[in-house]
Structure 1
Amino acid sequence: MTTSVPLPRVGDEARAALFTDARTTYSFADTAVDDATLTDIWELARWAPTAANLQPLRVLYVRTPEGKARLLPHLDEPNRPKSASAPAVAVLAVDNRFHEHIPRILPIRPQLKEHFADNPAQRDAITSFNGPLQAGYFILAVRALGLAAGPMGGFDAAGIDKEFFPDGDRHSVLVVNIGHPAGPPEFDRLPRLAHEDVVTWA
């Protein structure tokens, strides 16, 4: 018989910050978010697991007026005021050259670098699953550091890629506004599906 290894259980405050009290933020206060805090977001998010530790997600922080001027035209019009008000906006992208890092991040199987180099379809499979997975981790890391996250899907990915990733090696998957909320949520929390609507047992 094997012996189980106990894992820590987070407290009520952490659960509330990450899940039960978490809200998407649409407008942000003028309070700045410094570069050290933005760095801490990735320092936290990077430890969550991915398939074979391949880590395809890349983060572009847009936080200057010049950067915002380049980004906002590529967002759907209703989303532009949200990102304009955010102290920082993270463009989350997947790197289709993630395999170049394999000898360093998966040293037990360095030969996978050549394998993925010769198989673009398998690289796409890795990025299409693990990129969104890491994006979820990223949002949780934002909340864990006491910041509000406003993830958005309404944007021209091809336009953002052309503007910020002209080498063609990265593809945008999510835009996340980051900062402190400008007041309480704009509307009451919407209902969630109940256990009996979602969970089955076998």
Structure 2
Amino acid sequence: MTIANDALVLDAAAQDLLFREARTANTFTDEPVTDEQLQAIYDLVKYAPTAFNQQALRVVLVRSAEARERLVAQMADGNKAKTSSAPLVAILAADNEFHEELPNQLPHFPQAKEMFFSERPVREGSAAFNGALQVGYFIIGVRAAGLAAGPMTGYNAAGINKEFFADGEHSVLAVVNIGKPGEDAWFPRSPRLSYDEVVSTV
């Protein structure tokens, strides 16, 4: 149901598509998700803000049957069937070596170099936080493509990292099923906190 809000520049239909009517999908049709769609999604969401423009997110598209089997084995029992049947599954990970991609001509590069180039724990924490920001944008981008996203964190993180990121340079952040929603795709909408419960002024 569309709710008009004159305080927002985004038109009501786009608000519904991206937010009010968008849901986490649990079932999908067998309609494929193309590389062209994923390219368009990435080209939209790559503008997400990150500290020092670090762009720590890395995306692994799980397309082969062999890779899907390896991934499903690491999912929680309640997520195995969903991950097995989704048209496309993406593993979203943080690149803990993102500093190697920082352009050295940026004005803040000396500060970033001091912070990130020698301190692995600092890099990992920053990669996890900024990669998570990008995960949120990625989900919105999937919705903008007219697809449904089923993001999950119910998995064996150590197992996924071992299977897909054995070099230790990446850490899984989320696994996202992607496709057109299928039959009975949605759980009942859970309540959201109200503005007054969340926002305070000081």
Output the TM-score relative to the length of structure 1. Answer: 0.89
Match of 2:188 in 1: 188
2:172 is the alignment partner of 1:160:
no
1:18 is displaced (CA, Å) by 1.0
Q: Which moved more, 1:117-126 or 1:42-51?
A: 117-126
| Matched letter for residue 35 of structure 2 | D
Aligned residues of 2:91 and 2:175 also touching (Cα < 8 A): yes
Unaligned stretches of 5+ residues in structure 2: 1-7
Aligned residues of 1:103 and 1:113 also touching (Cα < 8 A): no
Three-state SS of the structure 2 residue aligned to 1:84 is helix
| Matched letter for residue 158 of structure 1 | A
In 1, the alpha carbon distance for the partners of 2:186 and 2:132 equals: 27
Match of 2:101 in 1: 101
Q: 1:17 to 1:184 in 2, by over 3 A?
A: farther
1:42 is displaced (CA, Å) by 1.2
Aligned residues of 2:29 and 2:182 also touching (Cα < 8 A): yes
In 1, the alpha carbon distance for the partners of 2:187 and 2:118 equals: 50
Instruction: Write out per-residue CA displacement over residues 69-105 of structure 1, whole angstroms, 9 at most, x where no aligned residue.
Output: 111000011101111111111111001100001126x
Aligned residues of 1:75 and 1:154 also touching (Cα < 8 A): yes
Three-state SS of the structure 2 residue aligned to 1:10 is coil
Match of 1:4 in 2: none
Unaligned stretches of 5+ residues in structure 1: 1-7
Output the TM-score relative to the length of structure 2. Answer: 0.89
4+ runs of 1 displaced by more than 6 Å? none
Superposition pairs for residues 37-186 of structure 1, below 5 Å?
37-103=37-103, 107-111=106-110, 112-113=112-113, 115-186=115-186
| Matched letter for residue 34 of structure 2 | D
Aligned residues of 1:152 and 1:175 also touching (Cα < 8 A): yes
